[in-house]
Structure 1
């Protein structure tokens, strides 16, 4: 079936792993499409922590999230895959030639599929305080997209995990002041990160819960209640950043009849799911010993692509090195 609506491989999900999977698939000269439900590529890295420094990406002592995505897109653009944004996959149906993929915009046909949706659709856990919604996207933020918004400002950060502490480490370099609010004296974040933060001027407000929000001369007044006591205090800041984690939703996977465990897709060693021809990579999958790192997903992507190519072209020997693949693209040599 040779037409513009037919693909060798369809990649569902445009986070870091999905982007690299698309790049590698094109290096193998597969005709591919990448479908992403958001209006931009980059997944959680672009949406949740573009300004965060990442320390577990091979080849970089550290790299900001937005820089990582920029580099991945620059690499990807050399190979020109078909990319469709603001489009959600609603149904996958098996056919004799592969799969019919129905999205919110169209139907296409694909010989194989690679799912790289990460944790799926995600929303922040909201602050359960009366009138909190009145401050959202103003003085109250759930995402840190541009650090410069906080330059020279007084900032309060609520949360005790890695993301909240990472925000504090980044923002304290440019903010006038930073305080970290947590309901316990101990934090869930990496010990090294906590140790680094204690060496800064960050104020630790523990163990406190946020019990009220009010306006104060274009700023936000936060009422804190000390845990298990009647003691309260108030602080006034320019911005309150809340990171209580995120709620993800992968319910649509169940409608695709894939075998799952703990809401994750079970895969074999070649990244194939319980349905032949459908593969999965990244944080959406489960197998013994898997570690949730971007680097892990980067390794899984070529395995899935090569496994898919074995179905598409079983008679073609797999290229072993990138230099063998790039020779097929004279403009890059």
Structure 2
């Protein structure tokens, strides 16, 4: 049995919108809660891939940008002092007699109950395969944008042709000295409105080109050499930073290895959001049941159900149907935020 200080009531795997709301509600129920996410920032795919896209299925908002929705959820979550672990991927789940063991790429965690809120799965970026790229990762070559101000007054090159690449190009145009975007096809894959805004912007559009090699001088990153995909034309693009948006890979095969019942890349749950493993629950896009509608709004509704039933599992005398949420929040005094 792990030490009491190491044992959490609820551990939420996934820090996307649904996971964030689940953590907030767990705070309302005064549960000792931890969030583990494989990405370097909270918000999941919305924050990482589509920060400028509008969300239309969040209750109370006719339309809200993905980044703003995530910011609101983080502000809401700040009422409680939960532990949040980023850039940590769960690699194994083991059920003990009265607790669960989560092994990650960085350590071991113990929890009385676990809630999966991993969307379409734990995903990792497709990395640049050019010689020497690895040594510049997180210095000059980036796969995520944690803070736009890191690129203030810099020359930035973005590689990619989807919504994520276009979003970041348009956002960084406001803070960077120069922004260029490289795509190997003549046309972009992003939404028409975003592509139109890109063409009207000051962003230098380079199509159809691909990065041929890094431009390194005296072991310092100086930019990239690009090559036309159909001709022999080459260009040297000076840059301080390269942001790579080649998409992401995601694997859910390990869920079966852990003993979870899976159907079509989703975890099968009952109406109380429980899985076939006692103490383990799943919400949001990763969960499936008869009549499931995959919307953010659906995940928000599933979160309190999972939390309430997880706490009832942990302590059977705890009610699964607490008082009204407004009264509950009044009684849950916010903890000090560090």
TM, length-normalised to structure 1: 0.78
Q: What do residues 6-52 of structure 1 show as CA deviations (whole Å, max 9, x unaligned)?
A: 665443344443232122133235x34325266977263698479x4
**Contact 1:40 1:85 (8 Å CA) reproduced:** no
1:210 match: secondary structure: strand
Matched, 1:220 2:219: no
Distance apart, 1:167 and its partner CA: 0.4
Contact 1:39 1:85 in 2 (8 A): no
Q: How many residues align?
A: 324
Partner of residue 20, structure 1:
21
Which residue number in structure 2 is paired with residue 247 of structure 1? 249
Deviates more, 1:184-193 or 1:263-272: 263-272
1:127-160 residue CA offsets vs partner (Å, 9 max, x unmatched):
1222222433333222212212322332211101
Secondary structure of the corresponding residue to residue 331 of structure 2: coil
Aligned to 2:25, the other structure's residue is in SS state: helix
Alignment of 1:127-166 (within 5 A): 127-166=128-167
Checking the alignment, whether the CA contact within 8 Å between 2:223 and 2:242 is kept in structure 1 is no
Pick which of 35-44 and 116-125 moved more: 35-44
Structure 2 counterpart of 1:189? 190
* 8 Å contact kept, 2:46–2:66: no
Is 1:42 the equivalent of 2:45? no
User: CA shift at 1:207, angstroms?
Assistant: 1.3
CA distance in 1, matches of 2:41, 2:225: 38
What do the CA deviations read for 1:164-183 (whole angstroms, capped 9, x no partner)?
11101101122232221111
Following TM superposition, by how much is the alpha carbon of 1:320 offset from its aligned partner in structure 2, in angstroms?
6.6
Residue segments in structure 1 that go unaligned for 5+ positions in a row: none
Q: Secondary structure, in 3 states, of the residue corresponding to 1:167?
A: helix
User: Residue deviations 1:209-243, cap 9 Å, x none?
Assistant: 11111125966242222223333333222222111
Q: CA RMSD in A?
A: 3.8
- The structural deviation recorded for 1:264 is 3.0
TM-score of the pair, normalised by structure 2: 0.77
**Equivalent position to 1:236, from 226, 235, 238:** 238
Q: Name 2:329's counterpart in structure 1.
A: 326
User: Helix, strand or coil: the match of 1:126?
Assistant: coil
Query: Structure 1 pair 139/77, CA: closer, same or farther in 2 (3 Å)?
Result: closer
Q: Give matches, 1:1-333, under 5 Å.
A: 9-29=10-30, 31-36=31-36, 42=42, 44=44, 48=48, 52-53=51-52, 55-56=54-55, 62=64, 65=67, 71-80=72-81, 83=83, 85=85, 90-93=92-95, 95=97, 99-103=99-103, 108=110, 110=112, 112-215=113-216, 220-286=222-288, 290-291=293-294, 293=296, 295-308=297-310, 313=316, 316=319, 318-319=321-322, 321-329=324-332
Identify the range of structure 1 (157-166 vs 10-19) with the bigger mean alpha-carbon deviation.
Answer: 10-19
Shift of 1:113: 3.1
The 3-state SS of whatever aligns with 2:138 is coil
